[in-house]
Amino acid sequence: SLNIENANTGQIIPSTMHGVILETNVNRDDDGGLYAELVYNRAFQEKGQSLDGWSSFGQGSIALSPFQPLSSALPVHLRYSLIEKSISPSGFRNNGFYGINIQAQNYTASFFYRALGEAYVAGGELSIGFSDSTGQIIYGISTIDVSVAPVDKWFPFSFTIPVLNGTSSVKNFFFIKFPPGSKGDFEFNLVSCFPPTYKNRVNGARIDIAQAFADLKPGYVRLPGGNDLEGLTIPERFIWNNTVGLLENRPGRRGTWTGYNTEGFGLIELFTFVEDIGATPVLAVYAGYSLDGKAVPQDELQPYIDEVIKELDFLTASASNNSMGVLRERLGRSQPFDIKYVEIGNEDIFAADSYSYRWPAFYNALSQRYPNITFIATTTKSINTPPAVDDHDYQVPLFFIENFRRYENIPRPSPKVLVGEFSVINDDDSKISNPFGAGRLDYPSIKSAVAESIYRIGFERNSDIIIGGCYAPVLQNIFNTQWTPNLIVFNTSSVVKSTSYLAQKMFGQNLGNIILNSTATNSSFTHQSVQKGQEGDGKLGNLYFVATKLTHESTLILKLVNADSNDTYVRVQVQGTTLCCEGFMEILTAGSGVDPTTVHNTISNPNAASIYRRPFWSINGAFSITVPSWSVMVVTLPL
Ligand code: AHR
C-alpha cells in the first residue's frame, strides 16, 4: 500500500525539471530537420563547395562560380548558362533534403539574382515552383519579373508560391525555369523556400517537429550542443555572431556530425523557438576546447572569454545602453532574452587537464558580470566545486535502475545538477561496462522508457539539487543518422514519437510543483518504520514512485514505474482528504506478457506503443490501481 500525506508545502520542484537538448547538426536535426528550409545546399556550401542537389533541365548548364560573390560569407554561387537561345523551357532544379513535402498551402521563396552583360530572359519572367521528379506534374508555380533587376548586380527577389493540391510523394523538385528564347549567363545564390512555419516565424521551424518539441512541455532547452558547440576544430566552433543577422552574411561552418551547418537557424531563431515553446533556455557557451582534442592555451583565452561576454550581452543586455543590446534590437529583437543558466563547455571530462584553467577563467569573468546567472560546469574533475554540474549518461536499463538513489546519495550541500544528456542506448543489461558496443538500439523500447522514467523519478525526488534532466539526442533524420537511439525520428513528411518520447511527455505534461511525503509498505513493515533511502521510500521491490502536487490546481500527480515482469497491485491512501473524485491514469506499457525490449515505435510501425488513459474513482482519498508489468503510469486526482 502507498500512503501519501496531503500538504500545500514541501520540497519545490523547479519548472525546468524535464527538458530537451537542441543540438544543431546531429542527425541532420537542424538543416533538413527542425529548420524549415526546403532547399538543400541553398548557398552551395555542401561537400566543400558544390552543386550537390542541383541539376539542369532542357538546354543550358549549371556551374559553380566564384565571380564577384554575393557576400564574403557566401563566396560561390550557381551560374546558369544558355550559350544558344533556348528553344524549350529550360532551367535548373533542387531535390530538397531527401525530397520535398508539398502540401496545399502557400510557400515563401526567395533568391538573389544577377544577369551578366547581355543576358536576356525572353519576356522578362522566370517561372518558379514545384514539380514531380519527371518535371511533368506541376504542383505550384509563380512568375517573377526579373527585368527589374539591374544588369551585373545582385538583386533580391522574394515571392509566394501557392499550391492548391499537394501530393503524398516527397520525390519532388523546386525549379527555376527560363522561357524559350532566353540566352546568356545568369547567377543565383541563397535560393530558399519555406513552407508555413511554427508560429509563423520568418526563417522559422518545421511545424510538425516543432510541435513534437512543444508537446513534451519541456521545462528547459539546452542549446546549441553537445558536440556541435565545440566544433571539429577551434575555428569550426559555434561562433555566435556568425549565426545572427542577414542570411547572406552567415558563413555557416562544417557540420560537426554531418554535412554543412548553414546556421540559418541561428542564435535568435533558437532563442525565439525556446520562447515559443514556453521553455527556459540553458545556453552552452564555447569554452576553448574542440573535438580534435586541442585546447586554447591559457594565455590565449581572453578573446574567447570576450566572445562569450559579447554573446551574453547580445542576448541579455538592454538595447538602450549596451552596444550588443543595440545590435540585437537592430536585428529585430528589442526585448532582452531571459537567461538563468549558462553551461561553460561540453563534456570537458575529456579535456579535464585544460578545463582546470579554462573553467576558472571563464567562470570568474562571467559570474562577476552576470551575478544572476547560474553557471554550470561540465565536470567536477580538476576544478573547485562549481555552482552546478552537467552529468551525461548513455547506458543500459540496469544502470538507470540501480542508480535510482544516485542523487539522494550525494551529500548535501551539493552543487546543483543538470542531467544534460541521458538515455538507454542498449537494452542488454550485460553491456553495462560497454553500452556503446554490440546491441546498440536503433529505437528506444518500452524497457528503455521504463528505466529512464525510474531515473526521472529520482530527479523529481531530488529537486533540491536537480535543475532538470533530458533524454539525448532528441532528433533523428532517418535519412542521415549518426547516432541512435533518439527521442523523435522523422523523415521528409512525418514524425515518429518513440517510447522514450511518450514517457518523457507523461513526465513533462504532468509536473507538480511540490513533493508530497509518501511511503510504500508490504506485509513486512509499516509506514511509520520506513527509513529514508530504504525500501518503502521511493521504491518497493521493482515499483518506483513519487507523489507530487500541483498546488494551484490542488491536484495530486503520482508517478509510478514498474520494472517487474508481473503487474503490481497498489492500494493508495491520500491522508487528509475526504473528497470523492474522479481521477485519471495514463499508462505506457508493452502489454501483458510482451517482452518490453521488443516494442519500439519506428518509421514503419509508428504506433506500436501509445499512452492510454483511464478514469478511476477515489473515495475519501483511497483508491486501488494495478500498475502493469514494465510500465510507466501517471495518476492525477483532484485533492
Ligand atoms: O547527444 C549526442 C552527443 O553525445 C552530444 O553531442 C555530446 O555532448 C555527447 O557525447
Q: What digits encode the pLDDT tens for the residues 480-519?
A: 999 999 999 999 999 999 999 999 999 999 999 999 999 9
Mean pLDDT for the stretch of residues 54-69: 98
Please say whether the beta carbons of 351 and 289 come within 8 A: yes
Q: Are strands 514-515 and 2-5 parallel, antiparallel or unpaired?
A: unpaired
Partnered with residue 283 across adjacent β-strands are 223, 342
What pLDDT, on the 0 to 100 scale, is given for residue 527? 83
372-421: pLDDT as tens digits: 999 999 999 999 999 999 999 999 999 999 999 999 999 999 999 999 99
Quick one: pLDDT at residue 523?
79
Mean per-residue pLDDT, 448-465: 98
Q: Which residues pair with 555 in a beta bridge?
A: 550, 638
- Residue 432 CA to ligand 1 center (angstroms) comes to 19
**What pLDDT score does 323 carry?**
98
Question: Using H for helix, E for strand and C for coil, what is the string for 366-399?
Answer: HHHHCCCCEEEECCCCCCCCCCEEEEEEEECHHH
Atom 1 of ligand 1, nearest CA residue:
473
Half-sphere exposure for 87 (CA within 13 Å, toward CB): 1
**Alpha helices (runs of H) in 89-230, residue ranges in sequence order:** 207-215, 227-230
CA distance to 16, 163, 346, 397, per residue, from 401 (Å): 23, 51, 26, 6
pLDDT of residue 361: 98
DSSP state of 519: E
**Alpha helix stretches (DSSP H) within 252-351:** 267-276, 302-316, 323-330
The residue whose CA has the least distance to atom 9 of ligand 1 is 226
Q: Which atom of ligand 1 is nearest to the CA of 23?
A: 6
* Nearest protein Cα to ligand 1, atom 5: 226
Q: What does the mean pLDDT of the chain come to?
A: 97
- This model of the complex carries an ipTM of 0.96
Above 90 in pLDDT, residue 344? yes
Tallying the residues shown for the chain, one arrives at 639
Percent helix, strand, coil in the chain, to 5, is 20, 35, 45
Ligand 1, atom 7, residue with closest C-alpha: 226
pLDDT for 314 beyond 90: yes
Question: How many distinct helices (H) and strands (E) make up the chain?
Answer: 9, 34
Contact between 450 and 565 under an 8 Å Cβ cutoff? The reply is no
- Please give the order of strands across the beta sheet that includes 568-575: 518-520, 2-5, 568-575, 622-627
Grid cell at residue 593: 506478457
In ligand 1, the atom with minimum distance to the C-alpha of 420 is 8
Structure pTM?
0.97
| CA atoms within 13 A of residue 138's CA, in its CB half-sphere | 12
Strands (E), 332-465: 341-344, 374-377, 388-395, 416-424
Rounded to the nearest whole angstrom, what is the distance from the C-alpha of residue 275 to the centroid of ligand 1? Answer: 24
> How large is the average pLDDT for residues 455-466?
98
What does the pLDDT read at residue 241? 98
What local confidence, expressed as pLDDT, does residue 576 receive? Answer: 87
Interval between CA 561 and ligand 1 midpoint (Å) = 27
pLDDT in tens, 520-578: 999 778 888 999 999 999 999 999 999 999 999 999 999 999 999 999 999 999 998 88
In this prediction, residue 580 has a pLDDT band, given cuts at 50, 70 and 90, of confident
Mean pLDDT value of segment 587-593: 93
Residue range 513-522, pLDDT digits in tens: 999 999 999 9
CA 378 to ligand 1 centroid distance, Å = 12
Share of the chain above pLDDT 90, in %: 97
What domains does the chain contain, in order, with CATH numbers? 2-13+512-638 (2.60.40.1180), 54-194 (2.60.120.260)
CB 393 within 8 A of CB 402: no
Cα 290 from Cα 233, distance rounded (Å)? 5
Residues whose CB is less than 8 angstroms from the CB of residue 435 and which lie 6 or more positions away in sequence, other chains included? 394, 395, 396, 399, 425, 426
**Structure confidence by residue, pLDDT tens digits, 2-49:** 999 999 999 999 999 999 999 989 999 999 999 999 999 999 999 999
Average pLDDT estimate for 571-600: 93
Q: Can you say whether residue 272 is alpha, beta or left, with left for phi > 0 and alpha for psi between -120 and 50 degrees?
A: alpha
**Cα–ligand 1 centroid distance for 176 (angstroms):** 39
Residue by residue, DSSP assigns 219-261 as SEEEES-SHHHH-SSGGGS--GGGGSS-GGG---EE-SSSSEE
Report the pocket of ligand 1 as residue ranges, CB < 6 Å.
23, 26, 225-227, 346-347, 392, 421, 472-473, 483
> Do residues 120 and 178 lie in contact, with contact meaning Cβ atoms separated by under 8 Å?
no
Provide mean pLDDT across the span 363-369: 98
Best mutation site among 22, 228, 258, 392 for ligand 1 pocket (most ligand atoms within 8 Å of CB):
392
Cell readout for 83 is 550559350
pLDDT at 397: 98
Whether the predicted pLDDT of 579 surpasses 90: no
**How far apart are alpha carbons 475 and 488 in whole angstroms?**
5
